[in-house]
Structure 1
Amino acid sequence: MILVIFLFFAQLCLVVRPFFRSTSMIVASALTHFFWLSTFFWLQVCSFHMYRVFHAETRSVHTKSYSRLTILKYLAYATGISVFIVSANITVSLTITNGEFTGYDKLMTLMTSRTAFIVTLIGPLLIVCITNITFYIMTAYKIQSTPNVDSTTGYRIQLTVYVKLFTLTGVSWLLQVVDTFIGVSVLSYIIAILNGLQGLFLFTSYVYNNRVFKLYRKAFNKFGSSRQSSRKINARHEH
């Protein structure tokens, strides 16, 4: 859900950014940069969490307070490093240009400098993709070499969820890295469409499927049965 929230605001900032000018546009661009970075780093958090879970000596059930603390730590990492990168981009840009540019001064591009775009967005994205692939490979190897891992703990299900997340939202970003260095082409338009439809991919994968439909059908049938039972009871009382 945190990933969905980050992705939502990243897409929202990207959509509304062209409607702003001057200082508002700079703020919108910086926020866009921040939310995309947070989205990338939260994907990294997901893969690291699975790696840590399956490589821990014990996989005991943790309390809710422990889980909340863990999420807060992950959230501090994802947002903290994103704030640092955005702040560093602004600081370096202001220093180099003697206060003339903030690093987010162009309407047609997210950042003023192409070099800054590569270093502060594509660079972290590439690192995240590499670490995610590494974590997933090591986690899959651990599961394969430990066949007695209890599937009822839910860890295997979580791994499947995170792998799907990275596949749905990570593959297109790998293509984005490639496209950055080959210039505008047909691939650029394809990648723009894929990245813009990430929310739809997530919806299709996790909501629009037979499993969810069966759950809804089961819930509706249970609700219908309970209503029918209530009617019979009321009818008996009236009789």
Structure 2
Amino acid sequence: MESEILIVDDDKEIRNLISVFLENEGFQTKQAEDGFEALELLDAINFDLIILDIMMPKMDGMEVCMKIRQERSMPILMLSAKSEDMDKIQGLAMGADDYLTKPFNALELIARVKSQLRRYKKYNPDANQGKHIIVIGDLTINTDTRQTMVGDKEVRLTPKEFDILELLARNKGIVLSVSKIYEAVWKEGFFKSDNNVMVHITKIRDKIEEDSKHPIYIKTVWGVGYKI
């Protein structure tokens, strides 16, 4: 399974650039524009490594790093326009594993990411375990056994229903359009007249929601699509 990396930076161009570098090397990436979004994604996905900018609005990288370290041990590579030694020391003291100053060389970034991942997986043999379990509230999704639980009760989903739920769960907080869901699950082009996704979402809600008319998990974003 490819390593999954979270890129946290308030600069969209930098996020996209890092994402391109890493995905060209075979990594999977997700992006967050601030610390709050990053922490929400961390509740939904077990990332292998985090690339974290220090200077961000709302919650800076130092605070995000401290909050991550309260529960998680994956490598954190900090990015900053600052180059002073004290800033590096502070970042490492907060729990970061490495530090790279902007502007950075793409090859150096990739080399540091690979180095941190090798070290982490060598000394943490269980690092890859648990990536197949997604927990959102009382909803638990096991992507290995393709089982879905709501509390202590197992819910029987069809293969397509499970694929849709897994897709939404892996992208918690992100609105996915009907066409994007269809193309990801059915592996073919989407036609506007096709209501397959809507029908399957209705069936999933009937099975996992206490009140399908007032869903807790799968929300409709009118005119756009669906999200968890």
TM-score, normalised on structure 1? 0.27
Q: Where is the helix percentage greater, Structure 1 or Structure 2?
A: 1
Q: Where is the strand percentage greater, Structure 1 or Structure 2?
A: 2
TM-score, normalised on structure 2? 0.28
Asked which structure has the greater RCO (Cα within 8 Å, sep 6+), the reply is: 1
Larger Rg: 1
